[in-house]
Amino acid sequence: MINLKGDVYQFVLTNGPIIPVQAAKNFKIDIMMTSAYLSELVAEKKLYVTKFLKIGTSPLYYAQGQETKLKDFYSHLPQRPRQITEVLETNKILRDIALEPWQRVALRETIDFAVPIKVITDKEEIFWRWYLLPQEEAENIIKAFLNPQEKLEKPLESQNIQTTLEIKDKIKVGRKKTTTSDFEKEILEYLNKKELKILNSKIIRKGVDIEYDSEMNSNIGKINICIKAKNKKKINESDLGLVLNLTNEKKTPVLFLTNGILVKKAEKYLQQNKGLIIFRNIHDKKDIL
C-alpha cells in the first residue's frame, strides 16, 4: 500500500496535472483509494490541488514546477471566470475598482490563477496578480502605478504576507493617537456576549475592517474560528468575495460580522457559499450564534 502511494506520486510527477481517474486507470485501482492517496500527498505538501478549476467534478492534482501547465485547462472554466482569467494573463495586474462587478466576482472565484494583493494607502483597495507573476515584480508594478514619478531603485518592502502590500510613503504621519473605535467596541461586546475568546487581531483599516483569530467552546472541545468585521452600510458580493478568499487562506469557515445589510445579489452569493461564510449583523436581536 505504501509503495502504491509512492507510485501514484511518481505518476503525478511524470504526468501532472492529473485528475484521480487517470491514476486509477493506470494502476487499475479503485477511484476512492486513488483519491485518498492523492489527498494524503496534498496533506504532506508533496502535491497541490486546484481549488476552483475542475475537470467535470474533479480537481487537478499537480507537483511543484507544474503550475504553468494549469493554464492549458482554461477551456474547463465557466465562461466568465475564463474570460477574466485571459484578461489577467494578458495584463498581469488588474485593479479591482477599475473592473465591472461581474469581473470582480469572477476573479474571486478563479483563485487558482488570480492572487489578491491588498494595498493600504489612505484607503484600502485590491489589485490582482497573475499567479505566475513573481510577487516582487507585482509589487513594483503596483508601486509604479500609484507613484508614477518615483524611481524604482529597490523593491517595495514586503511584510512577508502574500496578500498584503502596504505602501508606507502614502500613509500620512503625525496623526493624533486614536482610541478604540465605536465599531470595534461593538464588535468586542458582541464577541464577549457570544463567549468568543480573541486570540489575536489584525486591523486592516481603523474602525472599518478588522480580522480576528478566535476560539469558542463546543460539545467536542475548543474550536478555532476566523472572524471578519466590516463597518459598512451595504454589503455586496465583492465584500463576500474577499471573505471567501479568507476562508481559503485560513482553511476554515469565516464568521462575517457587520452593522450593514446584504444587497440582493450578495444574498444569492451567500447562499452559493453557504457553510463557508457565516453572516451576522451585530445589531440583529434575533441572532442565535
Residues 110-141 pLDDT 10s: 999 999 998 877 778 899 999 999 998 998 88
Segments forming the whole domain that contains residue 271: 182-281
Instruction: Say if 190 falls within a structural domain.
Output: yes
Q: Quick one: pLDDT band at residue 146, thresholds 50, 70, 90?
A: confident
Q: 203 with 268, same domain?
A: yes
DSSP the chain: -HHHHHHHHHHHHHH-SB-HHHHHHHHT--HHHHHHHHHHHHHTTSSEEEEEEEETTEEEEE-TT-GGGGGGGGGGS-HHHHHHHHHHHHHSEEEGGGS-HHHHHHHHH-TTTEEEEEEESSSEEEEEEETTS-HHHHHHHHHHHH-TTS--SSPPPP-S-TTEEE-GGGS--SPPP----HHHHHHHHHHHHTTPEEEEEEEEETTTEEEEEEEEEETTEEEEEEEEEE--SEE-HHHHHHHHHHHHHHTS-EEEEESSEE-HHHHHHHHHTBTTEEEEETT-TT---
Residues 22-66 pLDDT 10s: 999 998 888 888 888 899 999 999 999 999 998 888 899 999 999
Assign residue 32 the CATH number of its domain.
Answer: 1.10.10.10
Q: Quick one: pLDDT band at residue 196, thresholds 50, 70, 90?
A: confident
pTM of the full structure: 0.51
Last residue of a domain, one of 42, 68, 94: 68
Last residue of a domain, one of 14, 45, 68: 68
